[in-house]
Structure 1
């Protein structure tokens, strides 16, 4: 046992030794002889200190009762003499309350304990941990007192236990007294040792009270919760959150990140004291909502946010990237205010390097916590050969083999598009029609599985024997003994493994060659085939979650929507074609196109993981392992594949002018930023860049253009900037409800069903044909005639939404008219959101979503066409004239400013046969040709008036002569123009007179004629020179014309508003210059009437 620590009143606790004492002789100890000493044997023997000697002595007879009474009285009298007063007793604390209440934090003095300088104080029984003596007033001393008070009981028990081990006849030596420090001086010549330096105190972590908020969960919910893999990582996650401001959590789909991490934070108290835990989802974060939420994190109300969780960050949507960049700066700013904000980034398959190795985003790399998923093992099988063209046919053959040879289990097939999904479903339904035989009993399932496995082995053996029989005769002398290539050994090893695994139930490699006659119907093996893609009706999507009919196998043919968005139960086999259809956007031409490309390795792993949700599964990849090795590891972020003008506008509205310096996780290219700012400048959302002499400075100015008032208004609408300008311009003539409906319809894609898909039967083909004719007729009805028809496809959208809302937006109406019910519901929600946004900007509008909205009038249709032209000005196209036809491919074609190839109106458009001269389009889709969608007609005279930033104007025309507009207070003129880049000639229109000295001359002329201010018209006949003298070439020869012109230029007074502003600063402005044009006798009258602004 280690050394005992020194305690309070140590001298009083010491026992007398057996040696001689200098004091008075001590009376002999009293020994008692008890009758029940056998019963109490061991009790007295254990208290060796209380026994003075081991010899037994007989006691004297007890004194009489009278003597005891007198002795007791004397004792009480002596005690009363030394008893403390009541005032003194109130100063003491009872020992029953030690360590509780305010006594816990009371500083206790220790007068009896003297510690020499440099002597260390033992703070534990073992003596391993030593502390220097601290001042009694520090917090550390208070905590040490508590530990000492708790340890005293242990110290009191240790001596008794030690003595009991020594035995009854052992004499215990007392503790040696502490030597007092010597006060004598050291001998001469002997160096005095310096006092030991005090060791610096160890840094102590800030003590925080533990917070736990209980949550009452049902036993069933708790049992399901305990199965989630992330629950075992709760302590690791919460410790990382407590110690780091930013944490990244990576876990596969199904690990429980989305549902459990917010509960961890809630139970840890991050939502207590009126705090908020914010969670974002990539499909819920819109531009306006994101900007408002992020900016509120620094506002007084936003300080309630203690934790922000960014979920599904692996999708790398543009708004997720922007949100991460903004929060990376807000976390730092909140830390400086001592109001810490925690940021959690959660994803399934995240390219962690974009976050951990991005010093611009995170100066200190955040910790990464990986959570294992609840996944069964999945065996991946690669093809030996990769089909380049007919991958859909290869999928069909693989499904047939799986269905005929392998045990029960659902099949999930990944294809690229809706047309391929329906085509494969038709072939599978034809090959495996539903059986009409009675369903098998459940007891036969295991027997069927065994029979299927035996059938699979026999078919493999027959296939091997057939391959052996048809092998050609080969003379090995004609071949070299050297190996032909690197892959031969691998291929031979694959063949050996394949042959050796015929007896194994785990090796289910089906091979990748040969025909199986899959087109022949086989009703004995029914297959329940279901399609799945994003545009499918919700009720049809829900069918994949229902169990298949008894006696059938489920087969789901899906697009990449089944990778992460949905988890289909019962899937055991996955067939991956390795392809995906992506939307690509050309940032220069604005053309969108869908291209079929290879998936990334992360996406391929996601697809394979679909087979291991409920049991061990298998994934059959229709490409070789070498091709898989060439896949990119992660898909490119969305911000690098789409236009970014909406992001730039939102960031400018947040006062982030230099967007190029923003900490993007993956920054967009400089070309994309320049194209976005160029579009925003043309739309009037940004101010034009300042002119600079150097190219670098000009480019720098182009990337830091400030936002305009119109741009701030546009930024409040959660739509693309083109559509936002349409809303900003539609306030007049009651066009706002119609503009909101058109914008909502253009934002939601694929309003109509795809009726060009392959039919599964002749009956379905006839039904699709009749439905296509009916939908085409309804489009013509909704488009109308005359002015309404010129609005084109946008009028069809407006009519379709109006008719659907009038009918109650029921699924039956949508099905009957070829409309997608899901799209119509999304349009309804977006209309409500846009209506609320417009009311917030313009409260006097008092808009509401009217389900009984009436069709627009003819004049309103004209205004809507002009609004659409102003918003889609960069999407202008001109029909190729007959004299310009050089090749047949240009017949009925249109020319755009940014494309050299011809574009055409889509055959589904109502303007397909009209062929207007000028049109604007919503987008160009490239298939076999380049087709324009969302087409509307444009009048040629509107182009220079509504799109001046896209026109190059000539000099003002002399005929007709420039005029003054009293309503606008400006000088107008007629100018011809051409459209930029292509040089299309445009008619001359009346526009503002261009800036320059000539505008001042014309304004001076109209001022002298009295057209600007009517009060000066009465003096026109008294002028010494004609006002037209201002326009003459020899006008500089007259001092009066030169002085008036210089005065106007000095104050930049070239319009009525500028002149009124100058008079507001100086009422005598232009008085002397105007008096030079009048006789001397009229000067007093004009001085009294100056400035002439009373009746303008």
Structure 2
């Protein structure tokens, strides 16, 4: 109505100027006679006008319209301004060059001198003048080139005119009022042009051809700033004196990283800040040798001008240690900001922190590190090295990472799952920080980065970030391929190659790459016995039996002589440095590789010739793998003892994460052990496969750090070219994602499929992860789509309150669910200890396969540890708890003992794992205390072992956490199976979502017990798929703990349902099946399922007085017995139907809901109950109601 009132009589309300049209009157010519001649008519009617109404014209007031200039037109006009500026500067430059141009006589003299000196035929000057007059500066250029340049400029002008005409048409259609092109407006336009200020006319947009383009934009100069620094601004007013008054703040017009961001020219100039660093002279001298020092200016300019930068440099370029120092000196940590550097491995974070601190001569308070359970960060920290998982946890607390000014993601080529998720999250955090004028710089550094995943991924970075490539300080490395590729015992070839290098080649460290911790320890064992090093200890080094058998005739007290390398030539006698290979056969390839058996290795190595009394330099052999204690890892960075050669046997930890000094020879087995997980079932398997070409290059590069080196690849060049992939597969494609999905949902990312991953995971992985979270209760069950179109429209399940509690815990969702349930049964200390043991892998040291070669003391220690584990397992429910009970009691016994080192050595427990468990227990205890106020948990060193009742509850909690990791023993096999196949299937189990049989691992406590139903932590495939960390469960717990995975039958008629006064609910007996394979379980008494029958049975028990005992005295006076409620013909009775409808309307199916309804309405069910009684009982019922 408001709009109609404003329009009422709008035409009449207009105050218009009216002009009278007198053209018709002016056409009338009057020729009147003189008054003396007027005799035939009256004088008063001398003029007779035409009987037509005069014509008027309403002139409306002119309205000034503002033409909106689009972004595209704005850019075009700015380009014109820039082009004219360049033309002006070009003419000035030409004039300046012409003023200093050499004359023709001087050019002739120079040509003459040149002829005499070179005595060669001079090429004719194509553009030189012959008349001696000074020619134009550009006359020496190619005239065809000038013509081509003019044609290109004309084509560009034509294209710009066509685009501007299209833009004008769009503006005319979009504008609310059209601009009149009358002569009056043209005149006003000319006047306005004449009144322009000198500032406006100097912008070069007042030319004749420009006037045509500006018909719809009379004065575009008022909307365009003179400088080309910004490409998108709001309107600005130009005052009369020519100054520009900005009405609003400028906006960012170029889209960078997903938001409107300023270009490098448009960004405000950054204040020059230099933070002095007092380095030691020797450190400064070593820094200057790094290749990245020469690229400091280029790196810092790119970081200043771009929010995201990719830095690619080979190993040895110095990017990890020097880029943080560049940023520190440039002031990025000056105003309270922190420079954060992430590393994929803990050892790299610690070693890089120590290295940078020593180079900058700063304390650990300024240059700190933070890894899981350990760190030395302080409020004074400016440079923080950490693992990628630590930063991922921090981004959950502070999504914008407010305390950081720069984030460096180092070693991005390893493509860990946390690094990929962090890149996706930070690609959205950086633009938000840019808008809030608190910019965050993101630097992604790598040795061999797959650039296509970042450059061509526009979902990740909408504007391609710049890539800076740094050359490495790499000495030439000679690559030696094998002619024969070993198939089985490749560890034997590694051993032989290391021995040859040590015996025949000059001094220099040896770095050997193998696949696993077991191979590292095995190879170190053999190399130490072959080339023993006496570290000054009195005890004699242990020798393997195969060497002892060959040295029975030698003296036992024989000692190795002291050897100095200065007494020998650096070149071997009659040997080539390349080591002539023994394998001359054809290449034998194999697709898969089995585990290396130590017995086979020993049998092959035992055929090696004995050194006897030959004087050989000792070999200082050191292991290197991720699970090695920190103080033992640090030994590889120290110089070896005098007159010893360093030999490091390592996994792929030494590939890029750390740099070991003084390495000259690299032995590359070409193998890598990778953990693969089934995308649906989550079953894990470690496969030994060929590594990638990028990894092989990194391994070879380790030999060229101190000088020319050699890399011996124990595979042929054909295998390298044909079987090696270019890059390793990202981790996000090889592992389950339930923990990542839960954290992303906790951050508010509901549509996980649309997340900007560098490499998107398979959709099956995400669906399987969300399904598991739904089973665990972290997500609600999504609605079932009614049509095919609703599949994409329906939102995913929402995060529940249990899911939010689970996301706050720094552990897997399975273990987080256990902690949530532990609070209900007051078992939190036991569950925290058990979860800590389950989180840390390989708590117990494995029994060595070469026990027969071990000493008697070692054999006794292993037997003692095995007996202690059997004792810890207990009996009854404690024994059925299985391996988790073993973990729990070993942790409690270690805390009770107090001396962790002695305890671990005595019971064959890994010391580093036990320390990690202690730190995780402390972290989980603090987290739970913060989440549950008033709990006040603490780590009790004198914690008593769990009782048998506690063990039963712990088994149920394990079943709730390992809901999808349930297995059933296979008791019956088809009769038509052959006997051999039946023998293979002996003691086998079947899992919920896999058709392949599995077995309990031989090291498990339940290996001989073999319960019917078990839960397991994971499946590890070696010779057979084995279940590890196994605990027994009962089938009758499935419907109570995991009802979402059960399918129930109808309630049994016999025994009939009953009402439980304590629970206040109706119970019945049902049978059913569990899981997708429909494992049946026995008939159990459970709560009556929801449905109309539940309300009928509850109504019956209400009438019988079971729910309210006060109503029992009215049962004999009822018209019909209460059992009528559950008869199939009960609908024929109106009083029965009304009672059921009343219960159904209020959703009353138990005693609690009934009392709640009576608290709201005291007459609830009174009328329905009175219909079952005669009238003489109504008064007594009304006095009693409600019968609570």
Q: TM exceeds 0.5? A: yes
Matches for 1:20-419 after TM superposition, within 5 Å: 197-199=201-203, 201-204=226-229, 205=266, 207-208=268-269, 210-220=271-281, 221-283=283-345, 284=371, 290=391, 293-298=394-399, 302-419=401-518
2:534 pairs with 1:530: no
**CA apart distance, 1:584:** 1.4
**CA 1:1080–1:291 in 2, change beyond 3 Å: closer, same or farther?**
farther
SS at match of 2:797: coil
Does the 8 Å contact 2:342/2:391 carry over to 1?
A: no
Q: Distance in 1 between matches of 2:1162 and 2:436?
A: 52
Instruction: Please point out which of 949, 954, 970 is paired with 1:880.
Output: 970
Residue 1071 of structure 1 and its aligned partner are, at CA, apart by 4.3
Larger displacement relative to structure 2 (414-423 or 1007-1016): 1007-1016
Which of 960, 967, 981 pairs up with 1:870?
Answer: 960
SS where residue 1056 of structure 2 aligns? coil
Take 1:726 and 1:459, find their aligned partners in 2: how far apart are those partners?
58
Quote the residue 1:805 is aligned against: 895
Residues 1:411 and 1:303: Cα distance change in structure 2 (over 3 Å): closer
- Mean Cα displacement is larger for which, 1072-1081 or 650-659? 1072-1081
Equivalent residue in structure 1 for 2:836, among 744, 760, 784: 744
The equivalent position to 1:772 in structure 2, one of 862, 887, 906, is 862
**Deviation at residue 698 of structure 1 after TM alignment:** 4.7
Matched, 1:575 2:637: no
Which has more radius of gyration? Answer: 1
Contact kept? 2:873, 2:1005, Cα under 8 Å: yes
Deviation digits for residues 897-955 of structure 1 (CA, Å, limit 9, x no counterpart)? 33334322222112222222222111221111222211112123223222222222111
- Does 1:629 find its partner at 2:629? no
Asked whether the equivalents of residues 929 and 935 of structure 2 are also in contact (C-alpha less than 8 Å), the reply is yes
Native 8 Å contact 1:405 1:455 kept in 2? no
Partner of 1:553: 645
Tell me the equivalent position of 2:367.
none
Deviations 1:705-743 (A, max 9, x none): 212111111111111111111111111443111111111
Q: Which piece of structure 1 moves more, 750-759 or 867-876?
A: 750-759
Deviation of 1:744 after TM superposition, in Å, equals: 0.8
Shift of 1:1018: 5.6
Partner of residue 569 from structure 2, selected from 441, 448, 452: 448
Q: Could you tell me how far 1:391 is from its partner in structure 2?
A: 2.2
Please report how far the alpha carbon of residue 876 of structure 1 lies from its aligned counterpart in structure 2 after TM superposition: 1.7
> Superposition pairs for residues 608-647 of structure 1, below 5 Å?
608-630=700-722, 631-647=724-740
CA 1032–397 in structure 1, closer or farther in 2 if over 3 Å, else same: same
Cα RMSD over matched residues? Answer: 3.6
Task: Identify the residue that residue 904 of structure 1 maps to in structure 2.
Answer: 999
| Consecutive unaligned residues in structure 2, runs of 5 or more | 1-84, 96-190, 204-224, 230-265, 346-370, 372-385, 535-558, 588-603
Deviation string 1:1050-1071 (CA, Å, 9 cap, x unpaired) is: 3333344555565666665544
Higher normalized contact order (CA 8 Å, seq sep 6+, divided by chain length)? 1
Q: Structure 1 residue 297: deviation in Å?
A: 4.2
Shift of 1:293: 2.4
Task: Encode CA deviations 1:129-176: one digit per residue, 9 max, x unaligned.
Answer: 99xxxxxxxxxxxxxxxxxxxxxxxxxxxxxxxxxxxxxxxxxxxxxx
Hey, what's the Cα distance between the residues in 2 that align with 1:763 and 1:338?
68
Q: 2:848 aligns with which of 750, 756, 759?
A: 756
- Give secondary structure in 1 for the equivalent of 2:569: helix
* Residue in structure 1 matched with residue 754 of structure 2 by the alignment: 661
| 1:731 counterpart = 2:823 | yes
Give, in whole Å, the separation in 2 of the partners of 1:287 and 1:650.
14
Rounded Cα–Cα distance in structure 1 between residues aligned with 2:387 and 2:290: 31
Cα distance between partner residues in 2 of 1:397 and 1:292? 46
The CA distance in 2 between the partners of 1:330 and 1:1019, in whole Å, is: 71
| Whole-Å separation in 2 of the counterparts to 1:990 and 1:945 | 10
Structure 1 SS opposite 2:799: coil
Q: How big is each residue's C-alpha offset from its partner over 1:44-92, in whole Å with a ceiling of 9 and x where there is no partner? A: xxxxxxxxxxxxxxxxxxxxxxxxxxxxxxxxxxxxxxxxxxxxxxxxx
**Structure 1 residue 385 displacement after superposition:** 3.2
User: CA 1:270–1:1015 in 2, change beyond 3 Å: closer, same or farther?
Assistant: farther
- CA distance in 2 between counterparts of 1:620 and 1:460 reads 9
1:705 match: secondary structure:
coil
Partners in 2 of 1:429 and 1:1045 — Cα distance? 84
Change in CA separation of 1:286 and 1:312 when aligned onto 2, cut-off 3 Å: closer
Number of the residue aligned with 2:741: 648
Q: SS at 1:730's partner residue?
A: helix
C-alpha distance in 2, partners of 1:458/1:653?
59
**Residue in 2 that maps onto 1:706:** 798
Give the structure 2 partner of residue 682 of structure 1. Answer: 775
Contact 1:278-1:307 at 8 Å conserved across structures: yes
Bigger Cα displacement from structure 2, 719-728 vs 905-914: 905-914
**Displacement of 1:618 after TM fit?**
0.9
Q: TM-score, normalised by structure 2?
A: 0.67
Distance 1:589 1:1029 in 2: 50
Question: For residues 774-824 of structure 1, what are the alpha-carbon distances to aligned partners after superposition, in whole Å with 9 as ceiling and x for unaligned?
Answer: 221121122223332221111111111112222335323212221111111
Instruction: Give distance in 1, aligned partners of 2:272 and 2:192.
Output: 55
Distance 1:330 1:900 in 2: 44
Query: How far off is 1:597 after superposition?
Result: 0.3
Of 393-402 and 1052-1061, deviating more is 1052-1061
The 8 Å contact of residues 423 and 758 in structure 1, kept in 2 or not, is answered as no
SS at match of 1:395: helix
Measure, in 2, the Cα distance between the counterparts of 1:691 and 1:724: 28
TM-score (norm 1): 0.72
Q: Distance in 1 between matches of 2:829 and 2:1158?
A: 43
- 1:844 equivalent in alignment to 2:934: yes
- Listed as ranges, the gaps of 5+ residues in structure 1 are 1-119, 131-190, 472-483, 486-513
Distance 1:1067 1:460, change over 3 A: closer
Measured after TM superposition, the shift of residue 1033 of structure 1 is 1.4
Compute the displacement of 1:999 (Å): 1.3
Q: Secondary structure in 2 aligned to 1:1073?
A: helix
Q: Deviations over 1:77-123 (max 9, x none)?
A: xxxxxxxxxxxxxxxxxxxxxxxxxxxxxxxxxxxxxxxxxxx9xx9
Do 1:288 and 1:715's aligned partners in 2 also have CA atoms closer than 8 Å?
no
